[in-house]
Structure 1
Amino acid sequence: MLLLLLLISCLTSLLAALVVFGGGMLLIAILPLFLPAAAIVPVHGLTQLASNSSRVLFSLQDVLWSLIPGFLAGSVLGVAAAGWLWTQLPVQLLPLFIGLYILLSLWHSGFKKLLSRYENFIWIGFLQSGLSLFVGATGPLSTSLLLKQQADQNKVIVTAALMMSISHLLKVLVFGWIGFSYLDYQWPLFALIVGAVAGSYLGAKIRPPEPNPRYIYWIKLGLSALALQMMIAAVL
Protein backbone atom coordinates (compact mmCIF):
# COMPACT_ATOMS: atom_id res chain seq x y z
CA MET A 1 0.00 0.00 0.00
CA LEU A 2 2.81 2.40 0.87
CA LEU A 3 4.55 1.77 -2.46
CA LEU A 4 1.29 2.35 -4.29
CA LEU A 5 0.71 5.61 -2.42
CA LEU A 6 4.26 6.71 -3.28
CA LEU A 7 3.68 5.99 -6.97
CA ILE A 8 0.30 7.74 -7.04
CA SER A 9 1.71 10.78 -5.27
CA CYS A 10 4.67 10.91 -7.67
CA LEU A 11 2.46 10.77 -10.76
CA THR A 12 -0.02 13.38 -9.53
CA SER A 13 2.80 15.71 -8.48
CA LEU A 14 4.47 15.22 -11.87
CA LEU A 15 1.18 16.09 -13.59
CA ALA A 16 0.89 19.31 -11.60
CA ALA A 17 4.54 20.18 -12.29
CA LEU A 18 4.00 19.79 -16.03
CA VAL A 19 0.55 21.30 -16.57
CA VAL A 20 -0.08 23.31 -13.33
CA PHE A 21 -3.52 21.80 -12.64
CA GLY A 22 -5.16 18.48 -11.88
CA GLY A 23 -2.61 16.80 -9.64
CA GLY A 24 -4.13 17.86 -6.33
CA MET A 25 -7.68 17.13 -7.44
CA LEU A 26 -6.71 13.71 -8.76
CA LEU A 27 -4.94 12.85 -5.52
CA ILE A 28 -7.84 13.90 -3.29
CA ALA A 29 -10.15 11.75 -5.43
CA ILE A 30 -7.92 8.69 -4.87
CA LEU A 31 -7.13 9.07 -1.16
CA PRO A 32 -10.56 7.81 0.04
CA LEU A 33 -9.48 4.38 -1.18
CA PHE A 34 -6.68 4.37 1.42
CA LEU A 35 -7.69 6.65 4.29
CA PRO A 36 -10.70 7.25 6.58
CA ALA A 37 -12.83 10.26 5.72
CA ALA A 38 -11.61 12.40 8.62
CA ALA A 39 -7.98 12.10 7.48
CA ILE A 40 -8.39 12.85 3.79
CA VAL A 41 -8.24 16.66 3.77
CA PRO A 42 -5.44 17.13 6.34
CA VAL A 43 -3.27 14.36 4.85
CA HIS A 44 -3.92 15.74 1.36
CA GLY A 45 -2.97 19.21 2.59
CA LEU A 46 0.39 18.13 4.00
CA THR A 47 1.17 16.08 0.88
CA GLN A 48 0.31 19.01 -1.40
CA LEU A 49 2.43 21.31 0.75
CA ALA A 50 5.40 19.04 0.07
CA SER A 51 4.55 18.79 -3.63
CA ASN A 52 4.10 22.50 -4.23
CA SER A 53 6.90 23.80 -2.02
CA SER A 54 9.41 21.40 -3.60
CA ARG A 55 8.23 22.53 -7.06
CA VAL A 56 9.02 26.10 -6.02
CA LEU A 57 12.45 25.20 -4.63
CA PHE A 58 13.42 23.47 -7.88
CA SER A 59 12.50 26.58 -9.95
CA LEU A 60 12.85 29.64 -7.71
CA GLN A 61 13.92 31.81 -10.64
CA ASP A 62 10.43 31.58 -12.15
CA VAL A 63 8.46 32.92 -9.15
CA LEU A 64 6.59 36.19 -9.73
CA TRP A 65 7.45 37.55 -6.27
CA SER A 66 5.55 40.81 -6.67
CA LEU A 67 2.24 38.91 -6.54
CA ILE A 68 2.95 37.05 -3.29
CA PRO A 69 2.45 39.72 -0.54
CA GLY A 70 -1.14 40.45 -1.58
CA PHE A 71 -1.95 36.75 -1.90
CA LEU A 72 -0.44 36.03 1.53
CA ALA A 73 -2.44 38.80 3.19
CA GLY A 74 -5.65 37.56 1.60
CA SER A 75 -4.86 33.97 2.59
CA VAL A 76 -4.46 34.83 6.27
CA LEU A 77 -7.78 36.70 6.23
CA GLY A 78 -9.45 33.83 4.36
CA VAL A 79 -8.37 31.19 6.84
CA ALA A 80 -9.44 33.42 9.73
CA ALA A 81 -12.90 33.73 8.15
CA ALA A 82 -13.21 30.03 7.25
CA GLY A 83 -15.08 29.19 10.45
CA TRP A 84 -17.65 31.87 9.69
CA LEU A 85 -18.00 30.61 6.12
CA TRP A 86 -18.62 27.10 7.43
CA THR A 87 -21.64 28.23 9.44
CA GLN A 88 -23.07 30.69 6.91
CA LEU A 89 -22.75 29.01 3.49
CA PRO A 90 -24.07 25.73 2.06
CA VAL A 91 -20.69 24.01 2.06
CA GLN A 92 -21.75 21.23 -0.30
CA LEU A 93 -22.47 23.81 -3.03
CA LEU A 94 -19.15 25.68 -2.78
CA PRO A 95 -17.54 23.66 -5.62
CA LEU A 96 -20.44 24.77 -7.83
CA PHE A 97 -19.59 28.42 -7.26
CA ILE A 98 -15.86 27.81 -7.69
CA GLY A 99 -16.40 25.99 -10.99
CA LEU A 100 -18.70 28.69 -12.30
CA TYR A 101 -16.16 31.37 -11.38
CA ILE A 102 -13.37 29.55 -13.20
CA LEU A 103 -15.41 29.03 -16.38
CA LEU A 104 -16.62 32.62 -16.56
CA SER A 105 -13.23 34.13 -15.75
CA LEU A 106 -11.49 32.03 -18.41
CA TRP A 107 -13.94 32.29 -21.31
CA HIS A 108 -16.52 35.08 -20.84
CA SER A 109 -15.13 38.43 -22.03
CA GLY A 110 -17.85 40.50 -20.33
CA PHE A 111 -17.30 38.76 -17.00
CA LYS A 112 -13.54 39.20 -17.33
CA LYS A 113 -14.00 42.93 -18.00
CA LEU A 114 -16.22 43.23 -14.92
CA LEU A 115 -13.76 41.28 -12.76
CA SER A 116 -10.82 43.39 -13.89
CA ARG A 117 -12.21 46.25 -11.79
CA TYR A 118 -12.09 44.22 -8.58
CA GLU A 119 -10.09 41.02 -9.18
CA ASN A 120 -6.73 40.89 -7.42
CA PHE A 121 -4.57 38.39 -5.61
CA ILE A 122 -5.68 39.57 -2.16
CA TRP A 123 -9.22 38.44 -2.97
CA ILE A 124 -7.98 35.25 -4.66
CA GLY A 125 -5.83 34.43 -1.61
CA PHE A 126 -8.84 34.98 0.65
CA LEU A 127 -10.97 32.56 -1.37
CA GLN A 128 -8.36 29.93 -2.16
CA SER A 129 -6.94 29.53 1.34
CA GLY A 130 -10.23 29.95 3.17
CA LEU A 131 -12.20 27.55 1.02
CA SER A 132 -9.39 24.98 1.00
CA LEU A 133 -10.31 24.07 4.57
CA PHE A 134 -13.41 22.30 3.33
CA VAL A 135 -13.22 22.12 -0.47
CA GLY A 136 -9.76 20.53 -0.57
CA ALA A 137 -8.16 21.46 -3.90
CA THR A 138 -8.74 25.15 -4.73
CA GLY A 139 -5.55 25.81 -6.72
CA PRO A 140 -7.42 26.63 -9.97
CA LEU A 141 -8.58 29.91 -8.40
CA SER A 142 -5.11 31.48 -8.46
CA THR A 143 -4.13 29.60 -11.61
CA SER A 144 -7.00 31.06 -13.62
CA LEU A 145 -5.95 34.62 -12.74
CA LEU A 146 -2.27 33.89 -13.39
CA LEU A 147 -3.13 32.53 -16.84
CA LYS A 148 -4.84 35.80 -17.73
CA GLN A 149 -1.84 37.89 -16.63
CA GLN A 150 1.14 35.77 -17.67
CA ALA A 151 1.97 33.95 -20.91
CA ASP A 152 5.09 32.16 -19.63
CA GLN A 153 3.98 28.66 -18.63
CA ASN A 154 6.92 28.14 -16.26
CA LYS A 155 6.16 31.32 -14.33
CA VAL A 156 2.49 30.34 -14.10
CA ILE A 157 3.33 26.84 -12.84
CA VAL A 158 5.90 27.88 -10.22
CA THR A 159 4.05 30.97 -8.95
CA ALA A 160 0.83 28.96 -8.66
CA ALA A 161 2.81 26.35 -6.71
CA LEU A 162 4.02 28.97 -4.22
CA MET A 163 0.49 30.30 -3.77
CA MET A 164 -0.83 26.79 -3.22
CA SER A 165 2.00 26.16 -0.73
CA ILE A 166 0.79 29.13 1.31
CA SER A 167 -2.79 27.83 1.25
CA HIS A 168 -1.79 24.30 2.23
CA LEU A 169 0.56 25.47 4.99
CA LEU A 170 -2.21 27.50 6.61
CA LYS A 171 -4.59 24.55 6.24
CA VAL A 172 -2.11 22.14 7.86
CA LEU A 173 -1.63 24.53 10.78
CA VAL A 174 -5.38 24.92 11.30
CA PHE A 175 -6.00 21.15 11.32
CA GLY A 176 -3.13 20.68 13.76
CA TRP A 177 -4.57 23.40 15.98
CA ILE A 178 -8.00 21.74 16.10
CA GLY A 179 -6.44 18.44 17.12
CA PHE A 180 -5.75 16.29 14.07
CA SER A 181 -2.81 13.95 14.77
CA TYR A 182 -0.55 13.72 11.74
CA LEU A 183 1.67 11.22 13.57
CA ASP A 184 -1.15 8.67 13.42
CA TYR A 185 -0.58 8.60 9.62
CA GLN A 186 3.20 8.99 9.60
CA TRP A 187 3.96 6.14 7.19
CA PRO A 188 1.31 6.97 4.57
CA LEU A 189 2.44 10.60 4.85
CA PHE A 190 6.07 9.57 4.41
CA ALA A 191 5.25 7.67 1.23
CA LEU A 192 3.06 10.47 -0.12
CA ILE A 193 5.63 13.20 0.61
CA VAL A 194 8.55 11.26 -0.92
CA GLY A 195 6.47 10.64 -4.03
CA ALA A 196 5.37 14.29 -4.20
CA VAL A 197 8.94 15.60 -4.03
CA ALA A 198 10.11 13.06 -6.62
CA GLY A 199 7.30 14.11 -8.98
CA SER A 200 8.18 17.79 -8.58
CA TYR A 201 11.84 17.06 -9.31
CA LEU A 202 11.02 15.10 -12.46
CA GLY A 203 8.63 17.80 -13.62
CA ALA A 204 11.25 20.53 -13.18
CA LYS A 205 13.70 18.50 -15.27
CA ILE A 206 11.43 17.66 -18.21
CA ARG A 207 9.13 20.71 -18.34
CA PRO A 208 9.57 22.62 -21.63
CA PRO A 209 11.59 25.81 -20.99
CA GLU A 210 9.95 28.03 -23.62
CA PRO A 211 6.50 29.66 -23.47
CA ASN A 212 3.91 27.94 -25.66
CA PRO A 213 0.56 29.69 -26.27
CA ARG A 214 -1.00 26.44 -27.47
CA TYR A 215 0.14 24.76 -24.25
CA ILE A 216 -1.58 27.48 -22.21
CA TYR A 217 -4.73 26.99 -24.28
CA TRP A 218 -4.80 23.30 -23.38
CA ILE A 219 -4.29 24.20 -19.72
CA LYS A 220 -7.38 26.41 -19.95
CA LEU A 221 -9.35 23.55 -21.47
CA GLY A 222 -8.20 21.25 -18.69
CA LEU A 223 -9.15 23.79 -16.05
CA SER A 224 -12.57 24.09 -17.66
CA ALA A 225 -13.02 20.31 -17.57
CA LEU A 226 -12.14 20.23 -13.87
CA ALA A 227 -14.50 23.13 -13.19
CA LEU A 228 -17.34 21.29 -14.93
CA GLN A 229 -16.56 18.14 -12.95
CA MET A 230 -16.71 20.07 -9.67
CA MET A 231 -20.01 21.68 -10.63
CA ILE A 232 -21.63 18.39 -11.68
CA ALA A 233 -20.46 16.67 -8.50
CA ALA A 234 -21.85 19.51 -6.37
CA VAL A 235 -25.26 19.35 -8.07
CA LEU A 236 -25.49 15.55 -7.88
Structure 2
Amino acid sequence: MPSLVVLSLLAVSALVTSFISGILGMAGGMILMGILLAMLPLPQAMMLHGITQLSANGWRAWLWRHEVDWRVFRGYVYGALGSTAFFILVQLVVTKPVALVILGFTPFVALALPEKWHLNVERKFHSAACGVICTVLSLTAGVSGPILDVFFVRSKMSRHKVVATKAMTQSFSHLQKILYFGAITVGEGAHIHWGVAAMMIALAMAGTSLSRSVLEKMDDKSFRQWTRWTVMTVGVVYLVSGVVLLLKN
Protein backbone atom coordinates (compact mmCIF):
# COMPACT_ATOMS: atom_id res chain seq x y z
CA MET A 1 0.00 0.00 0.00
CA PRO A 2 1.43 3.45 -0.91
CA SER A 3 2.31 5.90 1.87
CA LEU A 4 -0.24 8.41 3.20
CA VAL A 5 1.49 11.25 1.32
CA VAL A 6 1.35 9.36 -1.99
CA LEU A 7 -2.28 8.36 -1.38
CA SER A 8 -3.18 11.99 -0.68
CA LEU A 9 -1.47 13.17 -3.87
CA LEU A 10 -3.24 10.51 -5.92
CA ALA A 11 -6.61 11.37 -4.37
CA VAL A 12 -6.30 15.10 -5.01
CA SER A 13 -4.98 14.45 -8.53
CA ALA A 14 -7.91 12.20 -9.44
CA LEU A 15 -10.48 14.71 -8.17
CA VAL A 16 -8.94 17.87 -9.63
CA THR A 17 -7.94 16.47 -13.03
CA SER A 18 -11.36 14.88 -13.62
CA PHE A 19 -12.94 18.23 -12.71
CA ILE A 20 -10.74 19.97 -15.31
CA SER A 21 -11.52 17.37 -17.98
CA GLY A 22 -15.22 17.63 -17.19
CA ILE A 23 -15.11 21.32 -18.07
CA LEU A 24 -12.70 21.31 -21.03
CA GLY A 25 -13.20 17.76 -22.33
CA MET A 26 -9.41 17.25 -22.04
CA ALA A 27 -6.24 18.49 -20.25
CA GLY A 28 -7.00 16.73 -16.96
CA GLY A 29 -5.71 13.46 -18.38
CA MET A 30 -2.44 15.13 -19.43
CA ILE A 31 -1.89 16.49 -15.92
CA LEU A 32 -2.74 13.17 -14.26
CA MET A 33 -0.42 11.26 -16.61
CA GLY A 34 2.53 13.44 -15.65
CA ILE A 35 1.84 12.98 -11.94
CA LEU A 36 1.59 9.20 -12.26
CA LEU A 37 4.78 8.97 -14.35
CA ALA A 38 6.58 10.84 -11.56
CA MET A 39 5.50 8.27 -8.95
CA LEU A 40 5.18 4.91 -10.74
CA PRO A 41 6.92 2.73 -13.37
CA LEU A 42 5.51 3.41 -16.85
CA PRO A 43 3.30 0.28 -17.30
CA GLN A 44 1.68 0.71 -13.86
CA ALA A 45 1.28 4.45 -14.44
CA MET A 46 -0.40 3.79 -17.79
CA MET A 47 -2.76 1.22 -16.29
CA LEU A 48 -3.77 3.31 -13.26
CA HIS A 49 -4.22 6.33 -15.54
CA GLY A 50 -6.40 4.26 -17.84
CA ILE A 51 -8.57 3.00 -14.96
CA THR A 52 -9.03 6.50 -13.51
CA GLN A 53 -9.68 8.19 -16.84
CA LEU A 54 -12.04 5.45 -18.02
CA SER A 55 -14.12 6.15 -14.92
CA ALA A 56 -14.07 9.93 -15.46
CA ASN A 57 -14.73 9.76 -19.20
CA GLY A 58 -17.26 6.96 -18.92
CA TRP A 59 -19.22 8.85 -16.28
CA ARG A 60 -19.00 12.06 -18.33
CA ALA A 61 -20.22 10.20 -21.41
CA TRP A 62 -23.16 8.88 -19.38
CA LEU A 63 -24.05 12.33 -18.03
CA TRP A 64 -24.07 13.76 -21.58
CA ARG A 65 -25.15 10.54 -23.36
CA HIS A 66 -27.93 12.29 -25.32
CA GLU A 67 -25.33 14.60 -26.92
CA VAL A 68 -22.96 11.88 -28.26
CA ASP A 69 -22.41 11.77 -32.04
CA TRP A 70 -22.49 8.00 -32.55
CA ARG A 71 -21.45 8.15 -36.22
CA VAL A 72 -18.21 9.89 -35.24
CA PHE A 73 -17.66 7.41 -32.41
CA ARG A 74 -18.05 4.39 -34.69
CA GLY A 75 -15.46 5.74 -37.12
CA TYR A 76 -13.07 6.39 -34.23
CA VAL A 77 -13.45 2.82 -33.00
CA TYR A 78 -12.55 1.35 -36.40
CA GLY A 79 -9.33 3.36 -36.54
CA ALA A 80 -8.44 2.67 -32.91
CA LEU A 81 -8.78 -1.10 -33.33
CA GLY A 82 -6.39 -1.02 -36.30
CA SER A 83 -3.72 0.81 -34.28
CA THR A 84 -4.12 -1.48 -31.29
CA ALA A 85 -3.64 -4.57 -33.46
CA PHE A 86 -0.29 -3.14 -34.60
CA PHE A 87 0.85 -2.45 -31.01
CA ILE A 88 -0.09 -5.96 -29.93
CA LEU A 89 2.04 -7.40 -32.75
CA VAL A 90 5.17 -5.34 -31.93
CA GLN A 91 4.69 -5.16 -28.11
CA LEU A 92 5.94 -1.56 -28.09
CA VAL A 93 6.58 0.20 -24.74
CA VAL A 94 8.53 3.47 -24.71
CA THR A 95 10.72 4.72 -21.84
CA LYS A 96 9.44 7.24 -19.29
CA PRO A 97 11.51 10.22 -20.63
CA VAL A 98 10.34 9.51 -24.18
CA ALA A 99 6.72 9.32 -22.97
CA LEU A 100 7.10 12.76 -21.31
CA VAL A 101 8.66 14.29 -24.44
CA ILE A 102 5.85 12.94 -26.64
CA LEU A 103 3.33 14.15 -24.07
CA GLY A 104 4.89 17.62 -24.12
CA PHE A 105 5.22 17.86 -27.90
CA THR A 106 1.63 16.81 -28.62
CA PRO A 107 -0.05 20.24 -28.12
CA PHE A 108 2.56 21.96 -30.29
CA VAL A 109 2.22 19.42 -33.08
CA ALA A 110 -1.52 19.96 -32.95
CA LEU A 111 -1.04 23.74 -33.22
CA ALA A 112 1.48 23.42 -36.07
CA LEU A 113 -0.76 21.35 -38.32
CA PRO A 114 -1.35 23.35 -41.55
CA GLU A 115 -4.73 24.96 -42.08
CA LYS A 116 -5.06 23.31 -45.49
CA TRP A 117 -5.41 19.90 -43.86
CA HIS A 118 -8.83 20.92 -42.52
CA LEU A 119 -9.07 18.05 -40.07
CA ASN A 120 -12.68 17.67 -39.00
CA VAL A 121 -14.02 14.63 -37.19
CA GLU A 122 -17.39 15.10 -38.92
CA ARG A 123 -15.87 14.58 -42.39
CA LYS A 124 -15.77 11.18 -44.05
CA PHE A 125 -12.87 8.96 -42.89
CA HIS A 126 -11.54 11.67 -40.55
CA SER A 127 -13.01 10.03 -37.48
CA ALA A 128 -11.21 6.77 -38.36
CA ALA A 129 -7.95 8.68 -38.90
CA CYS A 130 -8.53 10.29 -35.52
CA GLY A 131 -8.86 6.83 -33.97
CA VAL A 132 -5.58 5.65 -35.52
CA ILE A 133 -3.54 8.69 -34.44
CA CYS A 134 -5.04 9.02 -30.96
CA THR A 135 -4.50 5.35 -30.16
CA VAL A 136 -0.82 5.58 -31.12
CA LEU A 137 -0.42 8.55 -28.77
CA SER A 138 -2.46 6.91 -26.02
CA LEU A 139 -0.26 3.79 -26.02
CA THR A 140 3.02 5.76 -26.10
CA ALA A 141 2.45 9.00 -24.18
CA GLY A 142 -0.66 7.90 -22.29
CA VAL A 143 -2.91 10.70 -23.59
CA SER A 144 -4.11 12.03 -26.93
CA GLY A 145 -6.31 14.99 -25.94
CA PRO A 146 -4.51 17.81 -27.81
CA ILE A 147 -4.51 15.94 -31.14
CA LEU A 148 -8.07 14.79 -30.53
CA ASP A 149 -9.04 18.44 -30.08
CA VAL A 150 -7.66 19.28 -33.56
CA PHE A 151 -10.23 16.97 -35.10
CA PHE A 152 -13.07 18.60 -33.15
CA VAL A 153 -12.15 22.28 -33.27
CA ARG A 154 -13.50 22.82 -36.83
CA SER A 155 -16.63 20.76 -36.29
CA LYS A 156 -20.05 22.37 -36.02
CA MET A 157 -20.74 20.62 -32.72
CA SER A 158 -21.78 22.53 -29.61
CA ARG A 159 -19.51 22.36 -26.54
CA HIS A 160 -21.91 19.80 -25.06
CA LYS A 161 -21.60 17.49 -28.10
CA VAL A 162 -17.81 17.98 -28.17
CA VAL A 163 -17.43 17.01 -24.50
CA ALA A 164 -19.83 14.06 -24.83
CA THR A 165 -18.34 12.60 -28.02
CA LYS A 166 -14.78 13.11 -26.81
CA ALA A 167 -15.71 11.33 -23.60
CA MET A 168 -16.93 8.31 -25.56
CA THR A 169 -13.82 8.14 -27.76
CA GLN A 170 -11.52 8.57 -24.78
CA SER A 171 -13.39 5.92 -22.79
CA PHE A 172 -12.72 3.45 -25.58
CA SER A 173 -9.04 4.44 -25.78
CA HIS A 174 -8.55 4.09 -22.03
CA LEU A 175 -10.19 0.67 -22.07
CA GLN A 176 -7.71 -0.40 -24.75
CA LYS A 177 -4.84 1.03 -22.71
CA ILE A 178 -5.92 -0.88 -19.59
CA LEU A 179 -6.01 -4.17 -21.49
CA TYR A 180 -2.71 -3.54 -23.31
CA PHE A 181 -0.65 -2.44 -20.31
CA GLY A 182 -2.51 -4.78 -17.98
CA ALA A 183 -1.18 -7.72 -20.00
CA ILE A 184 2.34 -6.24 -19.88
CA THR A 185 2.12 -5.59 -16.12
CA VAL A 186 0.98 -9.15 -15.41
CA GLY A 187 3.72 -10.50 -17.67
CA GLU A 188 6.34 -8.60 -15.66
CA GLY A 189 4.95 -9.93 -12.37
CA ALA A 190 3.97 -6.40 -11.24
CA HIS A 191 0.59 -5.20 -10.03
CA ILE A 192 -1.38 -2.14 -8.96
CA HIS A 193 -3.19 -1.81 -5.63
CA TRP A 194 -6.90 -2.22 -6.36
CA GLY A 195 -7.88 -0.29 -3.24
CA VAL A 196 -6.02 2.72 -4.64
CA ALA A 197 -7.67 2.19 -8.02
CA ALA A 198 -11.13 2.09 -6.40
CA MET A 199 -10.40 5.35 -4.55
CA MET A 200 -9.34 7.08 -7.75
CA ILE A 201 -12.38 5.79 -9.64
CA ALA A 202 -14.74 7.23 -7.00
CA LEU A 203 -12.95 10.60 -6.93
CA ALA A 204 -12.77 10.78 -10.72
CA MET A 205 -16.53 10.34 -10.93
CA ALA A 206 -17.03 12.94 -8.18
CA GLY A 207 -14.83 15.49 -9.98
CA THR A 208 -16.70 14.86 -13.23
CA SER A 209 -20.08 15.42 -11.55
CA LEU A 210 -18.89 18.67 -9.92
CA SER A 211 -17.72 20.03 -13.28
CA ARG A 212 -21.13 19.83 -14.95
CA SER A 213 -22.47 23.09 -13.53
CA VAL A 214 -19.32 24.97 -14.59
CA LEU A 215 -19.59 23.72 -18.18
CA GLU A 216 -23.21 24.88 -18.31
CA LYS A 217 -22.13 28.43 -17.39
CA MET A 218 -19.40 28.70 -20.06
CA ASP A 219 -19.96 29.83 -23.62
CA ASP A 220 -18.42 28.05 -26.63
CA LYS A 221 -15.79 30.77 -27.21
CA SER A 222 -14.47 30.66 -23.62
CA PHE A 223 -14.54 26.87 -23.74
CA ARG A 224 -12.18 26.74 -26.74
CA GLN A 225 -9.85 29.48 -25.40
CA TRP A 226 -9.39 27.84 -22.01
CA THR A 227 -8.80 24.46 -23.63
CA ARG A 228 -5.96 25.76 -25.83
CA TRP A 229 -4.14 27.71 -23.13
CA THR A 230 -4.38 24.90 -20.59
CA VAL A 231 -2.93 22.18 -22.81
CA MET A 232 -0.15 24.47 -24.10
CA THR A 233 0.98 25.31 -20.56
CA VAL A 234 0.94 21.67 -19.47
CA GLY A 235 2.77 20.69 -22.68
CA VAL A 236 5.67 23.05 -21.91
CA VAL A 237 6.09 21.58 -18.42
CA TYR A 238 6.18 17.98 -19.67
CA LEU A 239 8.45 18.75 -22.61
CA VAL A 240 11.03 20.34 -20.33
CA SER A 241 10.74 17.48 -17.82
CA GLY A 242 11.23 14.85 -20.52
CA VAL A 243 14.25 16.60 -22.03
CA VAL A 244 15.87 16.96 -18.58
CA LEU A 245 15.41 13.21 -17.93
CA LEU A 246 16.84 12.32 -21.35
CA LEU A 247 19.91 14.49 -20.72
CA LYS A 248 20.48 12.81 -17.34
CA ASN A 249 20.45 9.31 -18.86
TM-score, normalization by structure 1: 0.82
Q: Partner letter of residue 73 of structure 2?
A: I
Structure 2: 5+ residue runs without aligned partners?
245-249
- C-alpha contact 1:52 1:164 (8 A) present in aligned 2: yes
Percent identity over the alignment is: 24
In 1, Cα distance between the equivalents of 2:232 and 2:118? 18
Cα shift at 1:171: 0.9
Does structure 1 residue 130 correspond to structure 2 residue 136? yes
Does structure 1 residue 224 correspond to structure 2 residue 210? no
Does structure 1 residue 19 correspond to structure 2 residue 24? yes
- For residues 155 and 4 of structure 1, do their structure 2 counterparts lie closer, same or farther at Cα, with a shift above 3 Å needed? same
**What does 1:52-71 correspond to in 2, within 5 Å?**
52-71=57-76
Which residue is 2:247 aligned to? none
Which residue is 1:108 aligned to? none
Q: Partner letter of residue 137 of structure 2?
A: L
Which residue is 2:53 aligned to? 48
The secondary structure found in structure 2 opposite 1:49 is: helix
Q: Partner letter of residue 12 of structure 1?
A: T
In 1, Cα distance between the equivalents of 2:13 and 2:201? 11
Does structure 1 residue 160 correspond to structure 2 residue 163? no
Cα shift at 1:115: 4.6
| 1:192 maps to which of 200, 207, 225 | 200
Does structure 1 residue 76 correspond to structure 2 residue 81? yes
Q: Partner letter of residue 81 of structure 2?
A: V
Which residue is 1:177 aligned to? 183
Cα shift at 1:153: 1.6
| 2:117 maps to which of 97, 114, 119 | 114
- Name whichever of 48-57 and 3-12 sits farther off: 3-12
Structure 1: 5+ residue runs without aligned partners?
106-110
The secondary structure found in structure 2 opposite 1:150 is: coil
Q: How many residues align?
A: 229
- For residues 235 and 172 of structure 1, do their structure 2 counterparts lie closer, same or farther at Cα, with a shift above 3 Å needed? same
RMSD: 3.0
